[in-house]
């Protein structure tokens, strides 16, 4: 049975008055830059960014997120790539509701989803993630932050810091947040070891984090291919009212299959090349998948995926 955790609204209201005043000024200054949330259902909103790789041109604004407004409080899902982007999202949330932000859920440990957290820390919100995501953040995310500063510049990354949630779950959980029931669903190791799905029970809207990615090549660096494909199938079986993927436009259950379609096509192609004794570098060069060449990251992430999958097949051969 999933764990039921009650979060007390007052936790989101104890930040010092000075911090709130500073935050209000910052939010006002960023109002012109803040992305406009998309209303997905009653009380459910999504931030839909243009899917791409993080680059100076986009300031790291490539990954989706969202929030759920309950009768007495708000749940935020993922925070963006920087303190600046976190403030932009907070400003946008405040244009929808001034109810307290009670909880911030980080769906997985990828840089473009977590580094806006510092902006929400100033609201007094409680942070939650999967225990394995917290471990991954501690192990490598300070290094990720250094890389982002070098890539995006100090101005863009000013004020950004790593926040590792001190509340973690090991599996499924049910949260009572602001009068709304929020389900956390862990389908196992898919895109990362600590992938979480976030479902608003009232609307049936599912925030899929790294498990569902559309119009951007899914990256296998931290993923497990077969379990990931299985996780996408499980998402489809949930028949959510709408799916907010980690990257790309909002989709339905059928649209979620596009993630698995890519992963299956990658596996088939690399297996074919491996079976014909194609060398590693030749296989990477010959791994083209024209059906996905219009997806963001195809020129770079797809090649890395082909490289990684070939090495996995070599290991599987050695273990036989």
pLDDT digits (tens, 9 = 90+) for 90-146: 999 999 999 999 999 999 999 999 999 999 998 999 999 999 999 999 999 999 999
| Rounded mean pLDDT, 283-301 | 97
Q: Within 13 Å and on the Cβ side, how many CA atoms surround 105? A: 32
Determine the Cα–Cα distance for residues 227 and 231; give it in Å rounded to an integer.
6
Confidence grade of residue 26 (pLDDT, cut at 50, 70, 90): very low
Q: How far apart are CA 31 and CA 89, in angstroms?
A: 9
Q: What is the largest CA-CA distance in the chain?
A: 67
pLDDT at residue 34, as a whole number: 55
- pLDDT at position 53 over 90: yes
Q: Mean pLDDT over residues 54-65, rounded?
A: 96
Average pLDDT (48-59) is 96
Average model confidence (pLDDT) for the chain? 91
Q: pLDDT over 90 for what percent of the chain?
A: 88
Give the confidence band of 33 by pLDDT, cuts at 50, 70, 90.
low
pLDDT at 186: 98
pLDDT over threshold 80, residue 2: no
List pLDDT tens digits, range 197-212. Answer: 999 999 999 999 999 9
pLDDT of residue 14: 34
Q: What is the pLDDT of residue 320?
A: 77
- Judged against a pLDDT cut of 90, whether residue 254 lies above it is answered with yes
Query: pLDDT tens, 144-165?
Result: 999 999 999 999 999 999 999 9
Cα angle 29, 32, 34; round to 5: 95
pLDDT of 11 strictly over 70:
no
pLDDT at 28: 40
Work out the burial of residue 33: count CB atoms within 10 Å of its CB; fewer than 13 is exposed, 13-18 middle, 19 or more buried. Answer: middle
Q: What mean pLDDT do residues 38-44 have?
A: 98
Burial call 197-210: b when 16+ CB within 10 Å, e when fewer: bbbbebbebbbbbb
DSSP assignment of 2-53 equals -EEEE--GGGGG-S-HHHHHHHHHHHHHTTTTPPPPEEEETTEEEE-PPP--
Give me the pLDDT at residue 319, please. Answer: 85
Tell me the chain's radius of gyration from C-alpha atoms: 20
Model pLDDT, residue 275: 97
Please classify residue 56 by burial: count the beta carbons closer than 10 Å to its beta carbon, then call 0-12 exposed, 13-18 middle and 19+ buried: exposed
Q: What pLDDT is stored for residue 35 in this prediction? A: 73
Give me the residues paired with residue 176 across strands.
Answer: 6, 181
Q: Is the pLDDT of residue 272 over 80?
A: yes
Domain boundaries, the chain: 3-256
Q: Is pLDDT of 22 > 50?
A: no
3-256 in CATH: which number? 3.60.15.10
182 phi and psi angles, rounded to 5 deg: -115, 125
């Amino acid at each position: 049975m999933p764990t039921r955790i009650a979060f007390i609204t007052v936790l989101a209201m104890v930040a010092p008055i000075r911090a709130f005043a500073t935050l209000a000024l910052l939010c006002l200054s960023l109002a012109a830059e803040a992305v406009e949330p998309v209303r997905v259902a009653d009380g459910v909103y999504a931030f839909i960014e243009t899917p791409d790789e993080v680059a100076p041109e986009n300031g790291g604004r490539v990954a989706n997120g969202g929030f759920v407004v309950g009768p007495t409080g708000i749940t935020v899902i993922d925070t963006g790539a920087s303190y600046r982007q976190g403030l932009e999202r907070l400003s946008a949330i405040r244009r929808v509701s001034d109810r307290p932000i009670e909880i911030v859920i980080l769906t997985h440990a990828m840089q473009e989803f977590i580094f806006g957290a510092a902006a929400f820390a100033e609201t007094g919100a409680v942070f939650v993630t999967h225990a394995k995501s917290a471990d991954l953040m501690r192990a490598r995310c300070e290094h990720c932050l250094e890389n982002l500063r070098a890539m995006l510049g100090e101005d863009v990354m000013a004020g950004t810091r790593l926040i590792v949630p001190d509340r973690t779950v090991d599996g499924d959980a049910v949260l009572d947040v602001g009068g709304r029931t929020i389900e956390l669903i862990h389908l196992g190791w898919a895109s990362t070891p600590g992938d979480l799905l976030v479902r608003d029970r009232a609307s049936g809207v599912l925030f899929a984090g790294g498990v569902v990615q559309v119009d951007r090549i899914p990256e296998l660096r931290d993923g497990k291919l077969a379990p990931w494909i299985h996780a996408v199938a499980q998402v489809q079986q949930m028949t959510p009212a709408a799916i907010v993927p980690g990257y790309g436009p909002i989709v339905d259950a059928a649209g979620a299959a596009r993630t698995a379609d890519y992963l299956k096509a990658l596996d088939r192609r690399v297996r074919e090349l491996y079976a014909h004794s194609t060398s590693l570098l030749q296989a990477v060069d010959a791994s083209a998948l024209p059906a996905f060449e219009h997806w963001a990251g195809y020129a770079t992430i797809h090649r890395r995926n082909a490289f990684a999958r070939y090495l996995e097949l070599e290991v599987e051969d050695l273990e036989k």
